Structures are given as C-alpha cells and as structure tokens.
Structure 1
Amino acid sequence: MQGREPFCLINQLNKKRMNKYELIRHLSGETGFSEQEVRLVVDCLLNATIDTLIKGQSLTFHNFGSLRAVWQVERPGRNLRTGEPWLIPARFTVKFRPGKALLEALNRDK
C-alpha cells in the first residue's frame, strides 16, 4: 500500500455505494489479511466508535474527519404521505465534519 494515495477507495469506486462486506473484501485484498481478520478489525473499529460517541466524546481520524454526537431538540415535522403535521421527538444524532485531506481528495479534479 506504500506510494498509494490515502483515499484509494474514492478513486476505485465505480458505483454510488459500498457496503460493509465489499469494504472488508477490498481491505483484505489491499492488506493480504484474511477476510475474517479484516472483519474483526472493522467490527472492533465500529464498536469503539459507537462506545466513544455514547460516552459523549468526539472521535477524530487525522486527515479524514471527526464524528460527534449532537442533541437535536424536538421540532415540528410533517407526514410526507398525508401532510399531517407532527412533532419529531428529541434525540441524539451524529455529525461528521470532513478533514482537509478528505476534502482535497474529493475535489482534486474539480
């Protein structure tokens, strides 16, 4: 993987979405680790991310971006099918702020 761009996945995507299994297969091919080993690492990373956000802490991946849990207050909404107004309950949501290197990679050819 040496000499490759840090966001090699961005340049290799031929479709609009990559699921977890496809990511695991890709990482397995890039690193030479088995799919089971990569799945374990991906699952641990996702669980650690969830645990960190539940504790109210933010999570930062250098050159990629940061995640943080944000409280959204109750707000008015509308049922799209019937048009009937209703209140969207208060809840936590996750905000992602992209890092500089990610934004530069995404906009390199623009």
Structure 2
Amino acid sequence: MNKQELIRQLAGETGFHERQVRMTLDCLIRKTMEALANDQSLVLQTLGTFRSVWQTERPGRNPKTGEPKTVPSRFTVKFRPGNAFLKALNDNK
C-alpha cells in the first residue's frame, strides 16, 4: 500500500475528504520527523515506538564493485512494535 492508497482508504472509512486526510497524514509525518530530530521518541499506543539512534562509523563495501568503504556515522530510526500490533499481525496466521 502506498500513501495515496492509504489516504483513499482512510477517507472512505472516516467520511473526510481526501484533502483533509492528506493534510492530517502530512502533519503527522512532519511532527514525527521533528520529534525524532529533537531526540524525542514518539509512542503511539497499540502501534509502537519510534526513536532515533546514533550509528557510529563502520566499515562497509560497495555492493556493485566490492570496494571497501567507510559508512559515516549518522542518526537512524528504530521502530519497536507494540503488543497489540504484534498480536494483530500474528493472529492472522
């Protein structure tokens, strides 16, 4: 599912216009990025927790050429799913 498909489904379920759903989703994404950039975590009950993590510099390889390269240090995002999310995911199997 891509963003536009999600917007259509949410608009269909909520009765809001697609434009309103898009603005809300864009705001959620923007606020999530702002929180993580400010070293805050975002906890969405039942879904899970997003948090920023600092990765140190490490050795790596160019997958095409096999040439050794150094992967620079950077921030990345980790997601830990909530219990309800994991339960819903595994109940369908």
TM-score by length of 2: 0.97
Runs of 4+ in 1 over 3 A off after TM superposition: none
> Could you list the per-position Cα deviations for residues 37-71 of structure 1 after superposition, in whole angstroms to 9, with x for gaps in the alignment?
10010011001101100110000000110000000
| Match among 33, 37, 62 for residue 54 of structure 1 | 37
Q: Secondary structure at the match of 1:94?
A: strand
Cα distance in 1, alignment partners of residues 75 and 2 from structure 2: 24
| Match among 62, 68, 71 for residue 88 of structure 1 | 71
Q: Say yes or no: does 1:27 pair with 2:10.
A: yes
Cα distance in 2, alignment partners of residues 24 and 96 from structure 1: 22
Residue-pair matches, total: 93
> Could you list the per-position Cα deviations for residues 7-48 of structure 1 after superposition, in whole angstroms to 9, with x for gaps in the alignment?
xxxxxxxxxxx1111110110000000000100100110011
Runs of 5+ unmatched residues, structure 2: none
Q: 1:6 is matched with which residue?
A: none
Matched to 1:28, the amino acid is A
Gap change, CA 1:82 and 1:72, over 3 Å in 2: same
Cα distance in 1, alignment partners of residues 92 and 61 from structure 2: 40
Cα distance in 2, alignment partners of residues 109 and 46 from structure 1: 28
TM-score by length of 1: 0.83
Matched to 2:51, the amino acid is R
Q: 2:92 is matched with which residue?
A: 109
Runs of 5+ unmatched residues, structure 1: 1-17
Q: 1:63 is matched with which residue?
A: 46
Q: Secondary structure at the match of 1:107?
A: helix
